[in-house]
Structure 1
Amino acid sequence: MKNFVNTAAWTSKPVNSRFVGRFLHVEAAKGSDFWQETHYGFKRDTGHALLAPVASVGALEVTFQADFDTLYDQAGLMIRSSETDWIKAGIEINDGLPHAATVVTHGRSDWSLSPVPEWANQEVTVRASWREGAVTIRVRKNQGPWSILRLAPMTFGPTTKAGLYVCSPERSELSVRFSRVTFGDADAGLHVAP
């Protein structure tokens, strides 16, 4: 984790980020978000993403835990080529419940959600695996089985970076504890668990 932090850069600095033992604690600013136009009409690129350059084939796992309780509290992983070309995936609060969520943005954002109320205050790992212009997103609670959350297109190039992210559109003092950021090999296939 510390090696990643030392080589990565923030898109927008959080209120605070510090190590407590082996855990990286990140506090999001109120109003921080990543979104482009769809439904709401606004363009937001104020979220906190700590990103490092990646190759066109690879994988990333981000493990975190947070006390999410406010609408749109969110954290997870991000793959980003520009302000209008990115994917974020993780846990987000909607309608009072945690959801496994993904936003894919190529000019404009889309949003997909799957409720996971039993994941409240649990450790969650999100995995992105990419090759041949496609990204497979998987998610799991603790050391449980992986579930496929999304398959989405993404063009990788010299500006593409990946890492962790956290946003707090509606409140201050959201703190997320990240325990692991690991880069590795792409999955062997869509239905082959890592």
Structure 2
Amino acid sequence: MTCSESSKQAMMSGWQFQNSEQPVPSREELASSFTIKARPSTDIWAKPPSTHRFNAPVLYKTMPLASFQRARVRVSAKWTTLYDQGGLILALNRRGGGHDDSDKDRKWIKAGIEFVEGMPRCSTVARDRWADWSLSPLPPGGQSAGDSAGADDEGDGVGVTIEMERRARDQTLWVYAVGKDGARTPMREVTWLFEDEEQLECWVGVYVCRPSSAAELGDLYVSFSQLDI
């Protein structure tokens, strides 16, 4: 696919990449499965006193924050290195402004799988002023992606389905891990996301990070499937 064809496809589908030169997946791939890669030293993170990072690949579409209701995807990979991660992301931007003036100002929520202390775990990070990070075990049935939609061409991996949903009765965002039986395990409630939503747009999509700086690691490949926004 040429660059012009990729740009045309992105405009037609409404999907775009940030921090990646990969072509935007086709409509057929978005509806079934696709893979995103991240180089070493890529991350989405904010920590006092001065760490602000937003250089990881993000595949997203833009919408008014007031229109957001739900996002869901299955994510899987061969997670091997500390802080390898991938999943859903929702990032806030000023309406009509494209995106915030700098990564220092951007608020976001990401949720998916992260490799910590020798194993993959469900991970949620909510960044208002700084990032707050929480971990939880994978739900039953999440340990093998080989028999699930979304297993990549690299071989069997570990996968989970992640869901973000607006709860209408109190206008908060809930993050869930979804088991093979469809049962949802609550991972996080984010209370501040929809404040001033009429003045905000959001990026909604998926991300991949490989924060380790060890160049010999090569790229991290993460497979996504069943994407629904």
- Which of 55-64 and 146-155 deviates more? 55-64
What whole-Å deviation, never above 9, does each CA across 1:62-108 have from its counterpart, x for those lacking one?
11211111100101100101442000001100001111110000121
What whole-Å deviation, never above 9, does each CA across 1:11-60 have from its counterpart, x for those lacking one?
21166776796421111111110011247x42111011111123424101
Matched, 1:78 2:122: no
Give the equivalent residue in structure 2 for 1:186: none
Give the whole-Å Cα distance in 1 for the aligned partners of 2:72 and 2:11.
12
Unaligned runs of 5+ in 2: 1-8, 94-102, 145-156
Q: Once the two structures are aligned, what percentage of the paired residues are identical?
A: 25
Matched, 1:176 2:208: no
Q: How does 1:24-43 map to 2 (within 5 A)?
A: 24-38=34-48, 41-43=50-52
One-letter identity of the residue aligned with 1:12 = N
Output the TM-score relative to the length of structure 2: 0.69
Matched, 1:162 2:162: no
- Which of 82-91 and 109-118 deviates more? 109-118
Q: Which has more strand, going by share of residues? A: 1
Aligned length: 181
Closer, same or farther: CA 12–69 of 1 in aligned 2, 3 Å: same
Output the TM-score relative to the length of structure 1: 0.80
> Which of these two proteins has the greater Rg computed from alpha carbons?
2
Aligned with residue 7 of structure 1, among 3, 10, 14: 14
Q: Give me the CA root mean square deviation.
A: 2.8
Residue 180 of structure 1 deviates from its aligned partner by: 2.0
Closer, same or farther: CA 50–15 of 1 in aligned 2, 3 Å: closer
Partner SS, residue 25 of structure 1: strand
One-letter identity of the residue aligned with 2:33 = F
Unaligned runs of 5+ in 1: 184-194
